[in-house]
Amino acid sequence: MDYETLIVEKEDNVGIIKLNRPPFNPLNTQTYLDLYDAVCELDSDSAIGAIIITGNGEKAFGAGLDIKDVMGKSVVDVLDFAWKAPRRTFDKLTGINKPTIAAVFGLALGGGCEIALCCDMRIASEDAVFGLPEITLGIMPGS
């Protein structure tokens, strides 16, 4: 299956999902929907024994919410987005029986950090930075 915001590859019995919105791989509604579908696809593939999630590019695993996705929306609409797209994806990612590994480099902020936290294991490069910067704005992390 082709995805708008991801690259999905299969190497031997490993599924690899790359967030593909370089350079910072911000997360928008489409990214969460694509990630949900990719996890479902790889989970149902009996040839896949493990799933690795990483970012495409050189600067970031995932730099959090794409602000353009919520600009101009009401608080109710933003909360509706936060509940539907990420929550469903995170529930799926944490609920599968196959081991999941976050291969983190560069920035893993906000939703990017949350994706890494949903995985069973996190492997981080020396330049990896994890954070939930929304708390400095008085905003609770989305998931």
**Catalytic one among 9, 11, 58, 134?**
134
> Is 114 considered catalytic here?
yes
Q: Is 110 left (phi over 0), alpha (psi -120 to 50) or beta?
A: left
> Is 4 considered catalytic here?
no
Residue 126: HSE in the Cβ half-sphere, 13 Å Cα cutoff: 0
For 6, phi then psi, to 5°, come to -135, 160
| CA–CA gap between residue 79 and residue 119 (Å, rounded) | 24
**Catalytic one among 9, 41, 114, 126?**
114
Q: Which residues are catalytic?
A: 114, 134
